[in-house]
Structure 1
Amino acid sequence: MRRVLVCGASLVCLGVALSACQREGEAKQPEVVRPVLSVVVKSQTLQVRGFAGKIEPRFETQLGFRTLGRIVRRDVSVGDQVSNGQEIAAIDPLALELAVQAAQANLSSTKAQLANAASTADRQKALLSQNSATEAVVDQAQQAYEAAVASVVRSEADLTKAREELGYAVLRSDFDGVVTSLQADVGQTVTAGQLVAVVARPDVREAVVDIPETVAGAITAGSKFGVSLQTDPTIQTAGVVREIAPQADEATRTRRTRITLQQPPEGFRLGTTVTAYLTTAADPRIRIPATAILDRDGKAFVWLIDEKQAAVSAREVKLEDRTHADAIVVSGLADGDRIATAGAHSLAEGQKIKMTDGNPL
């Protein structure tokens, strides 16, 4: 049997060679580059908040018949332009016409009774002058005449009322406007006061928005807003707060605010969705999102990004008014610094990163 002897020096050389190969392999491994979201911090003197809403008319009327009836005609549709006094709908007038005829007949009867009572009173007065009648009979005839006069007055009032109710058979617009809603169709029986149509005046339009209670406290009647279309933000106009709800909605904790538009463009049609912008003075200190904060050893840090080196380094900051959403930086950052806003706990000192631009704070 042949034995192979390996000297100690050879083993040492072999180990050194293997170690060198391992280090060379490790050196060739590419450094991990982590993509991060980032923003450039910037202090602000003005703060702009946007609130979604829609265009509504300031003046609108809910129309309904003033008497019971079945609708036999409806002459408009939603979106139609109507003029003052134009017919909207009509109910079957037969019963009302019969009531007018009955009132006319009753008036004719009471007028005949009045003529007879007047003749009787005059005759009794003539007989009294000839001592052929008593004063009691004359007084009775005079009372009958006065009662007949009252009956005629009542019958005339009944006829006027019947004719007025006949006019209720036709529903008319009270002003020039546009039909925004219809709630009854032909053939439907409606009660007095039941909603049939809604007519709005498009000449005075308002943006109606729901504003969070925390913001609405600083808004008063006369506060100014900018308003733009959501479909085309380049179409804008100005508005002034006319009315703000005195208390917040129990479910949403928002207050309904009505903003009167000043000379709105044609695109601000009724029902259009808009965004109302409120510009107020802002806290001049830098505000950063809570996701950018790294807590370590009882201190707060952010990852400052070196754009030239595409790397991050930890920067200690002092915070104030910290919430689950954001915090105010008292010291440690300056305008123009770029920081990572996500993945703060997965980064390391000197980590190579791939930046993703964000909106300035």
Structure 2
Amino acid sequence: MSLYKRRMGAGSAVGLAAILVALMVFGVTALRAEANFTAAAPAPMSVSVLRADYDPDARIAEFFPGLITARRESALGFERAGRIDRINVDVGDRVQAGDLLARLDVRAVEAQIAAADAQTAEAAAQTALASETESRQSQLLERGHISQQRFDEVRTSTRAALARQNAAAAAADALRVQLDLSVITAPFDGVVTARRADEGAIASPGQPLLELVELDSLEVRVGLPQSVAAGYARDDIVAFQVDSQIAPVAARFRASSSVVDRQTRTVTAVFDLEAGQAVAAGQIVRLAVETPIIAEGFWVPTAALAEGRRGLWSIYVLTPEDDAYTLQPRVVETVRIEAERVFVRGAVDDGELLLASGLQRITPGQRVLPAVQESRAQ
């Protein structure tokens, strides 16, 4: 019996020793595994960040398109029909006010004027004869050689002859007016932008033949909200942006129509362009009008916005954790979207660090370190 107990005691000691060895081996293995895990943990990623900067005076630029036009544009044509005899200008020619641009064949009109002048001369001769006759009959009336009835008839004949002379002169003047209407002269200084017929063509009354544009006096017409147009005073200088130019062009406010268009709900504002600027009639320009944003928020670059569920947007906030930061998404509301930046508001405190870009390289909860800090979204 004692031998059995001794054997049992020896077996228990061996088993306990085995258990202790196993525990030691497991502990060493666990320590090695933990060490391997710690060594394999990724280092925090360097990211570009910016600080949330709430801007109570934030303003946005509203752009309103306008069209550069000449102050005066005329489609010139003849007021009477006829065959075009000569056109002195072509497209691109600069002309001065009063220059002869085109004329009709006026030979028939000149012949009619000659005939009318002859009729006027004939009527003048008859008037002179009637006047002399009236003078002699007046002397005979005083001597009693003719009756008053006879004298009245002579005086009436004189007046009729004078009326015929005036009518002939008026007819001649009317023909001279037709002669004047047979030419086109420049009503103002400008450049010819269109020529719609050539010599030999038959012109109809009022048919546009030439188009003349005044280039030295350009203006801009812009449709603006009534409240915006009311903020301009006469001769206020504003800057317009031209797509083909880097430098803006300057213009002076002249007036607004003060009548709201039923379709666009805007009024037409007219600005006079300063002379000597490299712009041309027909170009499109834009007027930038800054208006305040009635909302508390801050600007972020568009690259900082992540699209969430149900059309919501979020940004990533860097939350301090030990010696690094973790990324936490925060839902925000977009108030104003521009080409390179967005004005947002949401559960973000002023001054918190935000992820500025690189959304495709991160995941929520990832550990990061700020690498480059931008002052604010530009």
Does 1:119 find its partner at 2:145?
no
2:71 counterpart residue number: 58
1:350 corresponds to: 366
Match of 1:102, SS state, is helix
Question: Which amino acid is the alignment partner of residue 250 of structure 2?
Answer: A
* 1:360 equivalent in alignment to 2:371: no
Normalised to the residue count of structure 1, the TM-score between the two structures is: 0.69
Match of 1:193 among 190, 194, 206: 206
Structure 1 distance, partners of 2:53, 2:85, is 68
C-alpha contact (below 8 Å) 1:41/1:337 kept by paired residues? no
SS of the aligned residue for 2:78 comes to coil
Do the aligned residues in 1 keep the contact of 2:336 with 2:344 (CA within 8 Å)?
no
- Structure 1 partner of 2:281: 270
Displacement after TM superposition at 1:210 (Å): 4.3
Q: Which residue of 2 aligns with 1:313?
A: 328
Q: CA 1:347–1:72 in 2, change beyond 3 Å: closer, same or farther?
A: farther
- Provide the residue aligned with 2:120 in structure 1: 107
Taking only the aligned residue pairs, the percentage that are identical comes to 24
Structure 2 counterpart of 1:315, one-letter code: R
Counterpart Cα distance in 2 of 1:40 and 1:278? 26
Please give the per-residue CA displacement for 1:77-129, whole angstroms capped at 9, x wherever unaligned: 22211012111111221332233123212212211221232233234334334
- For 1:95, the aligned partner's letter is A
What are the ranges of 5 or more consecutive residues in structure 2 without an aligned counterpart?
1-35
Q: What is the Cα-based RMSD across aligned positions, in Å?
A: 4.8
Deviations 1:206-255 (A, max 9, x none): 123445x4885665454542124322212x33222324444566666665
Larger Rg: 2
Matches of 2:352 and 2:115, distance apart in 1: 89
1:227 corresponds in structure 2 to 240
Correspondence 1:158 to 2:167: no
Q: Take 1:197 and 1:259, find their aligned partners in 2: how far apart are those partners?
A: 27
Output the CA distance in 2 between the equivalents of 1:124 and 1:144: 12
Shift of 1:197: 2.5
Q: Alignment partner of 1:157: what SS?
A: helix
Q: Please name the residue that 2:195 is paired with.
A: 182
**Which residue in the other structure is 1:202 paired with?**
215
Kept in 1, the 8 Å contact 2:106–2:182? The answer is: yes
SS at match of 1:49: strand
Q: Out of 97, 100, 104, which is 1:91 matched to?
A: 104
Per-residue displacement from partner, 1:130-183 (whole Å, max 9, x unpaired)?
A: 433221111011011011112212222222221122011110012222223334
Matched, 1:257 2:269: yes
**Counterparts of 1:41 and 1:72, CA distance in 2:** 75
Supply the distance in 2 between the matched residues of 1:99 and 1:349 (Cα, whole angstroms): 100
* Deviation (angstroms), 1:284: 7.3
State the AA in 2 paired with 1:144.
S
SS at match of 1:313: strand
Q: Which has the higher helix share?
A: 2
Which residue does 2:21 correspond to in 1?
Answer: none
Tell me if the contact between 1:216 and 1:255 (Cα under 8 Å) persists in the aligned partners.
no
Q: Deviations over 1:174-200 (max 9, x none)?
A: 222222333444344333333333323
Quickly say closer, same or farther: Cα 1:334–1:97, change in 2 above 3 A: farther
Q: Which stretch shows the higher mean deviation, 166-175 or 110-119?
A: 110-119
Q: Distance in 2 between matches of 1:144 and 1:163?
A: 29
Question: C-alpha distance in 2, partners of 1:146/1:242?
Answer: 58
Letter in 1 for 2:330: R
Task: Find the aligned partners of 2:318 and 2:239 in 1 and give their Cα distance.
Answer: 36
Matching residue's letter, 1:132: H
Q: Paired residue for 1:18?
A: none
In structure 1, how many angstroms separate the alpha carbons of the residues matched to 2:182 and 2:87? 12
Q: Give deviations 1:291-319, integer Å, cap 9, x for gaps.
A: 9476779x98533479xx898421255x5
Per-residue CA distance 1:273-292 (angstroms, 9 max, x = gap)? 43333345555743669x94
The 1:103–1:313 alpha-carbon spacing in structure 2 relative to 1, beyond 3 Å, is: farther
- Decide whether aligned partners of structure 1 residues 266 and 260 sit closer, same or farther in structure 2, where only a CA change above 3 A counts: closer
3-state SS in 1 of match to 2:278: coil
Q: Distance in 2 between matches of 1:190 and 1:342?
A: 70
Match of 2:7 in 1: none
Matched residue SS, 1:227: strand
Q: Is the 8 A contact 1:70 1:189 kept in 2?
A: yes
In structure 1, stretches of 5+ residues that fail to align are 1-23
Q: Is the 8 A contact 1:224 1:238 kept in 2?
A: yes
TM-score (ref. length: structure 2) = 0.66
2-structure distance, mates of 1:348, 1:77: 71
